[in-house]
Chains A and B, each alone.
Chain A
Amino acid sequence: MKPIIQNFLSSAEKSVLGKSRETKLALCCFLSQGHLLIEDVPGTGKTTFAKTMARLLDLSFARIQFTNDLMPSDLIGIQIYNSNEGKFNLIQGAIFNQFILADELNRGTPKTQSALLEAMEEKQITLDGNTLELPLPFFVVATQNPRSQIGTHHLPESQLDRFMMKIKIGYPDHENEKKIISNESHVESFHDLKPLIDSSTLNNLFSELKTIKVSDKLLDYVLKILETTRTHDIFQGLSPRAGKDIIKAAKAWALIHGRDYVLPDDVQIILPAVISHRIAPFQNQTFDQDLELTQTLIRKIKVD
């Protein structure tokens, strides 16, 4: 494991107690330039987790709290008529940052949601006919309450597909929870965090990611995964984009572990995060059920 990644993980550990796996997955998602969706019940540290990531990555950060009345303009920005000058000025919205934390995404109206999701996909926005490029790298971390919660607009499948990963923070284990509820300095440690990975390091990591080898055998394995979901009717068929995401994430996972080739083990580890939100044929399932379904899929497929 590279020292820089080691550092990143150990620093994150200080702020987000006992969640090293999730931290790794998140890092993996950033390295492969995907967007992350975090779903859990309120109060499990979703926001803290996202904020920690942003702090450590040294990127311009914005947080958008999604509510019923949040307008797309709040997100993207507005053209304001300056009557003195007699022309329109662009006021940039929160989206013109590199790291965006979209808190409680499913509380926003579908209109606003789709504005964000379009930006995520295109990495550019269109405002009154002008196309504006977003600063790169561009990450969105969205948090979401479980579907059963009242007053939420759940995301349609097509938009869920744009998130590379969907993870769950989960309740901390016994010891860490004890620390959290007893230790006041927990919050302070978040403020103590220093940016570890600057943009040039990040770019280096990006280019390093491209050199990671993916063997034919591994591609066959991933293909088998995709085909299996398409031929069994307990799954929804995965899109080629999902396949691409699996490879990207697996590469990043290999990079994090200091390998220059991808193993099927990597694929198995990142698979629940990458495909669980795309695999369920019916929307009324809980996330846990989706994860279980993914495990079923993994068990079904032969691997060497």
Chain B
Amino acid sequence: MIIKLITAFIILINILILNQEIPLVVSGTTFGILLLSFFISNKSLRTFLKILLLFGCMALLKFQFKPFLVTECAVSFVLLLSSLKFWELETENDHFNMFLILSLTECSLFILNSTFLIFTIGILKMLFYFYYILKIRNYDIGLLSGKRLLILITPSIIFSFVLFYTFPRFTQGFLNANDLQYMISSGDSKMDFSQLGPVNLSKEQVFKVFGLEKSNLPFEILYWKSSVLWQISDEAISAANSGLKIIENNSSKYKFNYNVQVFQNMKEYMPILDGSADVITSVLPFNKYTDGSFRLKVISRGDLSYSVSGNYGDRLQNFNPLIERKALKIKPKRIEEIKEQFFETPLLPEDDEKRLAQLKKMFVKKEFQYSTTPPTYSSIEDFLLNGSKGYCTHFALSFAYLARIYNIPSRVVLGYLGGEFNPYDNSVIVRELDGHAWVEVYLKNKGWLRVDPTTLVVPDRLTMAASEFFDSREPFFTFLNIKISKDNFNFKSLNNAFLWIDSLNSRLSGSMINFDREKQLQTLRSLTPKNFPVGWIFVTSLLAFLGIFSMLFYFFGLKKLNPNEKRYLKFLKKIKQYGMTKSENETASQFVDRCLIEIPGQKKYLEKELAHYLNSFYK
């Protein structure tokens, strides 16, 4: 029973850790199944329900995800499977299978949440579970304790690290390709802050947010979670590059073929990437973008940041008739209605700057309200005509829409705004909370220009840190219709602790796990003779590991001999050189007598050793 509870506990922890990565439906279903299994004891009913639930889960996964979301699909499936498997946990064999399934879940945790802390907790969790499995196997775990456990576990852990560090990577550097996929795929159906987009965070902006404009801190921009920099302006490129090292340009090594899937509703408002923003391309691993116009290049895996090389920046600044056409495209459905509502004067100024100013003015006049939980709108027109509550995405989309009506080429940009400065390691943590959407418009004289319609509605969003801003918008926790003021909780010290843990985490992740491939190769090369293939280092260390392990057991198992016994064995060994071996049923004296006949030259030695032997063992 206790192990069942432990299993349930582990599954619950997994749900909690994964809760941001998998849809609520999956965690809800998992939890439901887990609960159900405690109450249904009828076996046939169980089996029936289990089959039903399995099909249900498959259907859920089928409808919930698009086929390209391999990771989440697999993770959800493994999670659901673990809760289903929980129903039949009886024998130790079931528990062992459960262990294997949970290991897979653990592995998905590491993928979705690559931090050192999660890893440590995961390993401890699994070891603990394994310990209990051993216990129900009726193995007296005491037999393995102390020395024996040490001799088994310690070398294993040490050598797993050795193998890990000498393991030749077949991957292209340390890109977490999954991050890339996540970012690309996350623009799907969810209209919330987990929609990720291009990072748009200049150094100055960051400084401004924290009031550090004049400081010269050596900043590193640390993008938390699964963000990928999607550079869309010169400013942003310089921001991302500032203070970051750039590896010399060997971009041909890191070619990626990747797939851009754009949120259907927003397709026409997205930045136009050389005219094919809605390209649907490939699967992982990436190799090359179809038209070869740009590549994504990893600068460093250590601090999880990316930048773009190639002519991407130029392209973003490009403006040609094709782009113009796209940037002015509007769904004509209810355009007249909107014109009626939003255009007081049908005459528009010739100068586009004036037009923009007019649009801004009008936008402010409309008095939109900021809300993180707006009602659902079927389209942008719907929002413009019937709604007033919305958040950045709504404002950006509608602003772009209006701009196009005003005949200003415009596009929506998704990215990040703000972030949290972590004083423990001088980095900025950008969370999903900091996700933001804004608009870029093209002015003839000035090129692409950034406009943030959200600031027109709530200027605070730009000047405050994201968490602060949201707290000020919603100062209450709602719990069963009771509102609890957030002021009652002082998270400051707790927050500091979290920041500290974050910095620790990033340091450990950076130095121990996400170490540089080039550095690794350099170190390995410097430790081994010239031209020694890296693969062989792995093989050699594996062999050394095997050798050392067996030696360890050999010496561990040796019986401890007292000096007299040792001397006797030495004596026998020496006599063996003369061709005399003692047979098993022969006593020492008989053996020596026999030796005296064969090798009388050694008489003194033989007699001395015999006397010593008899003295020490029989006297």
Contacts and interface: CB of A to CB of B under 8 A. Distances in A.
Nearest to A300: B585
A218 B587 CA distance: 11
Contact of A217 (B586, B590, B617): B617
Nearest to B584: A302
Contact of A298 (B568, B585, B617): B585
A190 interface: no
Contacts of B22: none
B617 A215 contact: yes
A299 interface: yes
The winner among B585, B618, B619 for most chain A CB atoms within 10 A is B618
Interface residue SS majority, chain B: helix
B589 interface: yes
A268 B587 CA distance: 9
A264 B613 CA distance: 13
Contacts of B568: 304
A303 B617 CA distance: 12
A265 interface: yes
Contacts of B619: 213, 215, 260-261
A265 B590 contact: yes
A260 to B, nearest CB: 8
Which one of A217, A268, A301, A303 has the highest number of Cβ atoms from chain B below 10 Å of its Cβ? A303
Interface string A280-304: 0000000000000000001111111
Contacts of A264: 587-588, 618
B585 A215 contact: no
B614 A303 contact: no
Contacts of B614: 261, 263
B585 A265 contact: no
A215 B590 CA distance: 19
B585 A302 contact: yes
Contact of B618 (A261, A268, A298): A261
B563 to A, nearest CB: 16
B589 A263 contact: yes
Nearest to A297: B585
Nearest to A299: B585
Contacts of B587: 263-265, 268, 303-304
A217 B619 CA distance: 10
Contacts of A303: 584-587
Q: Most chain-B Cβ atoms within 10 A of its Cβ — which of A262, A264, A304?
A: A304
A265 B586 CA distance: 9
A265 B568 CA distance: 17
Nearest to A264: B587
Contacts of A304: 568, 587-588, 617
Contacts of A215: 617-619
B585 A218 contact: no
A255 to B, nearest CB: 14
A301 B585 contact: yes
A92 B94 CA distance: 84
A261 B616 CA distance: 11
Interface string B593-619: 000000000000000000000100111
A214 to B, nearest CB: 9
B619 to A, nearest CB: 5
Interface in B542-573: 568
Contact of B589 (A213, A265, A298, A302): A265
Interface string A108-137: 000000000000000000000000000000
Contacts of A299: 585
A303 B586 CA distance: 6
A228 to B, nearest CB: 11
A262 B614 CA distance: 10
B551 to A, nearest CB: 28
A218 B619 CA distance: 10
Nearest to A260: B619
A178 B508 CA distance: 101
A301 B587 CA distance: 11
Contacts of B585: 298-303
A217 B618 contact: yes
Interface string A198-221: 000000000000000101011000
A251 to B, nearest CB: 12
A262 B617 CA distance: 10
A268 B591 CA distance: 14
B559 to A, nearest CB: 14
Interface string A251-267: 00000000011111100
Interface in A134-183: none
A262 B618 contact: yes
Among A218, A261, A263, A298, max chain B CB count under 10 A is at A263
A218 B588 CA distance: 13
Nearest to B619: A261
Contacts of A260: 619
Contacts of A268: 587
Contacts of B588: 264, 304
Nearest to B613: A304
A165 B585 CA distance: 23
B582 to A, nearest CB: 9
Contacts of A300: 585
B611 to A, nearest CB: 12
A218 B618 contact: yes
B596 to A, nearest CB: 15
Nearest to B568: A304
B555 to A, nearest CB: 24
Contacts of B618: 213, 215, 217-218, 261-264
Contacts of A302: 584-585
A239 B47 CA distance: 63
Contacts of A298: 585
Interface in B365-416: none
A218 B614 CA distance: 11
A129 B18 CA distance: 96
Nearest to B572: A304
Contacts of B586: 303
A37 to B, nearest CB: 27
Nearest to B586: A303
Interface in B85-107: none
Nearest to A303: B587
Nearest to B617: A217
Interface in B252-284: none
A261 B568 CA distance: 19
Contacts of B617: 215, 217, 304
A256 to B, nearest CB: 16
A59 B338 CA distance: 142
A204 B619 CA distance: 22
Contacts of B590: 265
A27 B277 CA distance: 114
A96 B473 CA distance: 121
B116 to A, nearest CB: 57
A261 B619 CA distance: 5
A88 to B, nearest CB: 56
B558 to A, nearest CB: 18
A300 B584 CA distance: 9
A260 B614 CA distance: 12
Nearest to B593: A265
Contacts of B584: 302-303
Given A217-B617, A298-B585, 19 more contacts: A215-B617, A215-B618, A215-B619, A217-B618, A261-B619, A262-B618, A263-B614, A264-B587, A264-B618, A265-B587, A299-B585, A301-B585, A302-B584, A302-B585, A303-B585, A303-B587, A304-B568, A304-B588, A304-B617
24 contacts: A213-B618, A213-B619, A215-B618, A217-B618, A261-B618, A263-B587, A263-B589, A263-B614, A263-B618, A264-B588, A265-B587, A265-B589, A268-B587, A299-B585, A300-B585, A301-B585, A302-B584, A302-B585, A303-B585, A303-B586, A303-B587, A304-B568, A304-B587, A304-B617
A-B residue pairs, 10 tightest by C-beta: A302-B584, A264-B587, A215-B618, A261-B619, A265-B587, A299-B585, A261-B618, A217-B617, A265-B589, A303-B587
Interface of B: 568, 584-590, 614, 617-619
